[in-house]
Amino acid sequence: MPLWVEVTVSVFLLFGAFFALVGSIGLAKLPDFFRRLHGPTKATTLGVGGMILGSMLYFTQMEHQFQFQELLITLFLFITAPASAHIVAKAALHLKVQHKAKHTEQQPEEEQDKEADS
Amino acid sequence: MSHKKRIIPHPVLSLLMLITWMVLNSFSPGHFLLGTFLALLIPYLVQDFWPNAVKVHKPLHLIWYIIKVTGDIMVANFVVAKQILGPSDKLNAAFFDIPLEIENDFTISVLAGTISLTPGTVSADLSPDRKRLIVHALNVNDIEAEINLIKQRYEQPLKEIFECYPQ
């Protein structure tokens, strides 16, 4: 494998690993539940994205044929990751998990109560 | 809404399924036939769960939207990386409601997905009347500006792409 491919693949892998690491640090460090949710969104986008680009380049070089199966990982992640984040956040809102964020306008809990009353 | 069964209820979905099948397996005539068969059969069987077909009115706008969102995700990643590694007590986290103009379930899902994928904002809940999307932002100083940005940058294009109402 030529040197420039090795270097490029390494750069992509390190780039992805860096963002996965920052995502994990965010998950550990941020002060409340909702802020912690923001960590993993980075890992699923640029973190995985960088590794996928590295993998595509590596296997394209190794098998002398353009490989793009990895793009499907991105597709599936982009469909499932927001859905799971949404469900987790929604569950936390309804359980009234402690947070420090300020609310604006109406809160969803009140609407739920109204619905239950009517 | 008619309950008559259509032969090909979701042409776009079928095409996407065929492409996914081909990429997952291999580009051979056998897999093309099998993929086509499955891509036609499965939407036909599950069409009762998807009463409204997704129509892409402006495919070029959709491609531009995907490019734009990819770019935004890259930029936002760097911004949020800086915020996470910096002092966290300076972060101005907030919940805010985005009043929705779009009505279609699928369009709302795409908008919520876009918001969640862009680092810094996560869609948290949809109001029961489907008129407002509740969003949590990691660091936001001007909530009005943030709402307007999301509405103009993501909601308007999505409305044009997927929802085209007769005037």
Assign 3-class secondary structure to B109-161: HHHHHHHHHCCCEEEEEECCCCCEEEEEECCCCCHHHHHHHHHHHHHHHHHHH
Q: What is the dihedral of CA B86, B87, B89, B94, to 10 degrees?
A: 0
Model confidence at A104: pLDDT above 70: no
Distance from CA of B139 to the nearest CA of A (A): 9
Q: What is the predicted pLDDT for the residue at A114? A: 42
**Is pLDDT of B167 > 50?**
no
Range of the domain at A106: 3-117
Q: pLDDT > 90: what percent of chain A? A: 10
Q: Say whether residue A53 is in contact with chain B using an 8 A CB cutoff.
A: no
In a 3-state reduction of DSSP, which class is residue B94? Answer: strand
Q: Do A68 and B23 touch (CB under 8 A)?
A: yes
Contact yes or no for B119 and A106 at CB 8 A: no
Q: What confidence tens digit (pLDDT) does each residue in B128-157 have?
A: 888 888 888 888 888 888 888 888 888 888
Q: Do A82 and B91 touch (CB under 8 A)?
A: no
Q: Mean pLDDT throughout B108-130?
A: 85
Q: Is the pLDDT of residue A108 over 60?
A: no
Total number of domains in chain A: 1
Condensed to tens digits (0 to 9), the pLDDT of residues B25-64 reads: 878 888 899 999 998 898 888 888 776 666 777 888 888 9
**Mean pLDDT in residue range B82-107:** 82
Average pLDDT over chain B reads 83
